[in-house]
Amino acid sequence: MAQQQTITLAYSPCPNDCFIFDALVHHRIDTQGLKFDVQLADVEALNQSAFVGKPMVTKLSFHAFGYCADKYVLSDSGSALGNHCGPLLISKYPIAEERLLSGDLTVAIPGKYTTANFLLSTAYPAMKNKKMMLFSEIEDVVLNGEVDAGLIIHENRFTYEQKGLLKIIDLGDWWENTYSAPIPLGGIAIRRDLPVELQHKISRLIRESIEYAFAHPEASLPYVRDHAQEMEESVMQQHIKLYVNQHSVSLGESGKRAIEILFQTAQQTGVLKPIPTSLFLD
């Protein structure tokens, strides 16, 4: 029997990632001689790990990809892009647009290199007083008055109203209205030093894993539940529906265009330096 090749694979424990990778890591599909060593981490921890090129394959924020594009190339499958799924700025009280523009706020963010922070910085460049923390802690620090506002991602967009918090701005809507493109949140990156044929095989297997998950939605539920902690079933399903879509199966032209717009905007505003290499796996 031929020896399996082990691929280190890092992604978050969030429902969308567990849904995407369940069939792959549990061999519901033919992994063609590849074995995946899974490492689960929060999005900002994933970003930091990618900066040093640690995992062979990793989920990361598209913003963070701009800092490690020399080490990684974007897979065609596995990304989180979409419409009406962007980060939300929330608070306990209404905040006028003038105050947002002035930057006179303390804001909790889910990480410096998250795409959420990139969108906030692009929409409100004067907003500099930020506190970085785990995305799951942001609602609480807004509620206890430690910060004026919080930038929430993932399933928190489904729970903040239940806690009496108010939406100040949907940065996803801001992006879509400004650029007429889906919101590029996170992607799957594959190390450039892997053989090209292996890069393509990994991308194909991720696509097959997503297609299996769509065809057999009940199969991934135990894995998703295991990592969803106390999340309600309805929230878990909303999360998957929002962040896993046709762009997850394949970026397509519209997905690639959205990512290119993000990096062009980042370069024009001085957030990122130009990326000399191709963004996408050919």
CA–CA distances in Å: residue 153 to residues 9, 159, 160: 22, 11, 11
pLDDT, one tens digit per residue, over 139-175 is 999 999 999 999 998 777 888 888 999 999 999 999 9
Residue 13 to residue 183: CA distance in whole angstroms: 21
- Residue 191's H or E segment, with its range, is strand 183-191
Task: Find, among 185, 155, 14, 162, the residue nearest to 86 by Cα.
Answer: 185
Structural Rg of the chain based on CA atoms: 18
Average pLDDT, the chain: 92
Spatial CB neighbours of 31, under 8 Å, sequence gap ≥ 6: 24, 205
Strands 130-132 and 166-170: unpaired
What fold does the segment set 88-179 form as a domain? D-Maltodextrin-Binding Protein; domain 2 (3.40.190)
Q: Mean pLDDT across the stretch 215-241?
A: 89
Look at residue 97 in the predicted model and tell me its pLDDT: 92
- In this predicted structure, the answer to whether residue 52 has a pLDDT above a threshold of 90 is yes
- In this predicted structure, the answer to whether residue 199 has a pLDDT above a threshold of 80 is yes
Q: Do domains 5-82+183-268 and 88-179 have the same CATH topology?
A: yes
Residue 263 to residue 260: CA distance in whole angstroms: 5
As a whole-number percent, the residues of the chain with pLDDT over 70 amount to 99
Instruction: Identify the residue with better confidence: 268 or 188.
Output: 188
Spatial CB neighbours of 188, under 8 Å, sequence gap ≥ 6: 11, 57, 58, 59, 74, 75, 77, 78, 79, 203, 206
Instruction: Identify the residue with better confidence: 240 or 154.
Output: 240
pLDDT, one tens digit per residue, over 242-262 is 899 999 999 999 999 999 999
Is 27 one of the annotated active-site residues of the chain? Answer: no
- In this predicted structure, the answer to whether residue 230 has a pLDDT above a threshold of 60 is yes
The one catalytic residue in 154, 200, 216, 239 is 154
pLDDT, one tens digit per residue, over 19-46 is 999 999 999 999 999 999 999 999 889 9
- Domains of the chain, by residue range, sit at 5-82+183-268, 88-179
Q: Is 234 helix (H, G, I), strand (E, B) or coil?
A: helix
Instruction: Identify the residue with better confidence: 162 or 57.
Output: 57
Pinpoint the alpha helices (H) of the chain: 15-25, 43-51, 62-65, 97-102, 115-123, 138-143, 171-179, 196-215, 221-227, 233-243, 246-249, 252-268
**Architecture field, domain 5-82+183-268:** 3-Layer(aba) Sandwich (3.40)
Instruction: Identify the residue with better confidence: 36 or 236.
Output: 36
Beta bridge partners of 131: 108
Instruction: Identify the residue with better confidence: 203 or 163.
Output: 203
Look at residue 24 in the predicted model and tell me its pLDDT: 98
- Of 46-55, 126-135, 140-149, where does mean pLDDT reach its minimum? 126-135
